[in-house]
Amino acid sequence: MNTHISNSQPALNAPNIRGQRIRHTRIASTIDECRLMLAAGDNANLLLLCGPTGVGKSTLGDFLVESELKDQAAVLSANPGYVPAIRVEAPSSGERDFSWRLFYQRMLDALEGELDAPRTAYGIDPVTGKVVRPVGPQTNRLSGLRTAVERSLRNRGTRIVVVDEAAHMMRQCHPSRLVEQFNTLKSLSNESHVQWILLGSYDLFELVSLSAQLARRTHVIHFGRYREDNDEDVRAFRGCLKKFADGLPALKDLDLLQYADAFQQNTLGCVGTLRTVLVRLNLLVAEKGWSEDVLCKALLTEAQTDQILREIVEGEERIAPGLKRNLAVQQPKTGRRVA
């Protein structure tokens, strides 16, 4: 195919292009599974959505929140202060330990909007009845944020908190304190009656091995890629390719489906990576016109693909046993009489 697109393309709105999303098959099925587990209530405080880099976990988080807002539309119209679900990103602050202060502040921003005044744990003097600010340092400010988060979650009626890049909670913490990190989430869940959906890489799966109590109250959902060895996955990936291309001005008149196998192999079936490649291709075609050389420039390099594939294969092998469930019937031991 030697179609040429003129360089005189209309001005491209890069933020809108990069923000393009599609609710494809894998996202729809994952949202359905999340809804099922959320309906289980307190029996599943933590939902872990693990998947490879570039698979579209952040987009999934947005759709999860939007889906809950849509379901609660009637309540929202009657009570504008109701916030049934929020999405926040776990910060990677550069500090040695995970910054709960910054995390709580992000939650408050999502629930209440940004505030100029710092959060502080105020109290009432039992003798004078006056409002007092306890003397104390950083811990007091952190406790003030925690108290404000609990109060805001209750006042807003929030039921679901989606945490993107949740693996930051693990990476910025000494292994001996990992249980403490996620006990904090469990405590917030108990106090405020919220359920957590943690989005992250396959590292997040290690949570289920931290303690028996966390394992019992955690449900793992694999948000996987579209595989080349599965016919349904291949068809779904081609559908994603077409929808993305149709929404990009420099690509909408090109027949990119003839390169569908190359796109799937290069992006490893990860829709988020596919979108990144197509956005790059859209900008290149708008500037230089279409050619297969331009297409090659937009693709990931072999080194990038090899590294991502290595991490995907390791992650899929690690998570596979944790997704198996068996209905095993214990057989009576030989030599014993069965009544």
Return mean pLDDT, the chain: 83
**Is residue 245 within 8 Å of residue 285, measured between CB atoms?**
no
Kindly state the percentage of the chain with pLDDT values over 90: 57
Contact 166, 198 (CB under 8 A): yes
Task: Please give the Cα distance from 276 to 271 (Å, whole number).
Answer: 9
Contact between 1 and 258 under an 8 Å Cβ cutoff? The reply is yes
Residue 17 has pLDDT above 60, yes or no: no
How confident is the model at residue 209, as a pLDDT?
74
pLDDT band at 102; cut points 50, 70, 90 = very high
Look at residue 3 and tell me whether its pLDDT is greater than 50.
Answer: no
Contacts of 110-115 with CB under 8 Å at 24 or more apart are: 110/83, 110/86, 111/83, 111/86, 111/149, 111/152, 111/153, 111/156, 111/158, 112/152
For residues 269-292, average pLDDT: 97
* C-alpha R_g of the chain: 24
List, for residues 304-317, the tens digit of each pLDDT value. Answer: 999 999 999 999 99
| Distance separating alpha carbons of residues 195 and 163, to the nearest angstrom | 11
Predicted local distance difference test score (pLDDT) of residue 5: 36
The pLDDT value given to residue 4: 38
Residue 164 phi, psi (nearest 5): -85, 155
Which of 234 and 323 is assigned the larger pLDDT? 234
Residue 13 has pLDDT above 50, yes or no: no
CATH topology of domain 25-222: Rossmann fold (3.40.50)
Query: For position 223, what pLDDT does the model report?
Result: 95
Worst-scoring range by mean pLDDT, 52-56, 187-191, 230-234, 259-263? 187-191
In this prediction, residue 337 carries a pLDDT of 47
Instruction: Check if the beta carbon of residue 226 is closer than 8 Å to that of residue 237.
Output: yes
Cα–Cα distance measured from residue 268 to residue 169, given in angstroms and rounded to the nearest whole number: 27
Return the pLDDT at 330.
53
Q: How many helices (H) and strands (E) does the chain have?
A: 14, 7
pLDDT of residue 126: 64
- Summarize pLDDT for 36-78 with one digit per residue, the tens: 888 876 556 789 999 999 999 999 999 999 999 999 999 999 9
Q: What percentage of the chain exceeds 70 in pLDDT?
A: 79
Domain boundaries, given as residue ranges, for the chain: 14-20+227-323, 25-222
pLDDT at position 208 = 75
Q: Cβ(193)–Cβ(155) under 8 Å?
A: no
The H or E element that residue 85 is part of is strand 85-89
Confidence label for 339 from pLDDT (cuts 50, 70 and 90): very low
pLDDT winner (highest mean) among 29-43, 101-115, 138-152, 247-261: 247-261
15 pLDDT tier (thresholds 50, 70, 90): very low
